[in-house]
């Protein structure tokens, strides 16, 4: 069971970074044989939140590279993301679990210098709720 939990943590971590990956299916399958939903949900949440923290940290320093030729984002994209985050505020971090928009949200939170404690709190609430719903559906 330890190996499955390690794989769950790793899949949840990778899923929260900018790499395309999903951990929900692995959690769902693991829950079918787990004696309780508590540990799988906690482990998946921890891995996913830690991955989001990596995005936040990357966001803190990403603008340093914006004038490099290889930099992925242009100035208009950066400004649009910053305006959107300012418009909708910190509460958008509750939706950091949403596919496609969640990872950029956590990155832009780093760019916008969101306080780390608030970031972790809001991201954890959203991601734990998502994994809780998956556990409820699995059981």
Indicate the pLDDT class of residue 62, thresholds 50, 70 and 90.
Answer: confident
- Rounded to whole angstroms, how far apart are CA atoms 32 and 14? 22
Per residue, the 3-state secondary structure of 37-49, as one string, reads CHHHHHHHHHHHH
- Rounded to whole angstroms, how far apart are CA atoms 116 and 132? 23
Reported as a single tens digit per residue, the pLDDT across 21-56 is 889 999 999 999 888 999 999 999 999 999 999 999
Whether the pTM exceeds 0.85: the reply is yes
Give the single-character DSSP code of 95: G
């Amino acid at each position: 069971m330890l190996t499955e939990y390690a794989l769950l943590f790793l899949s949840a971590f990778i899923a929260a970074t900018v790499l395309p990956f999903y951990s929900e299916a692995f959690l769902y399958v693991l829950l079918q044989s787990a004696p309780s939903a508590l540990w799988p949900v906690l482990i998946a949440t921890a891995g996913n939140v830690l991955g989001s923290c990596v995005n936040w940290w990357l966001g803190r320093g990403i603008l340093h590279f914006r004038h490099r030729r290889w930099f992925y984002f242009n100035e208009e994209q950066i400004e649009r993301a910053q305006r959107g985050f300012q418009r909708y505020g910190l509460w958008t971090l509750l939706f950091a679990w949403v596919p496609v928009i969640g990872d950029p949200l956590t990155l832009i939170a780093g760019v916008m210098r969101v306080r780390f404690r608030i970031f972790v709190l809001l991201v954890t609430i959203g991601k734990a709720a998502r994994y809780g719903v998956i556990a409820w559906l699995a059981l």
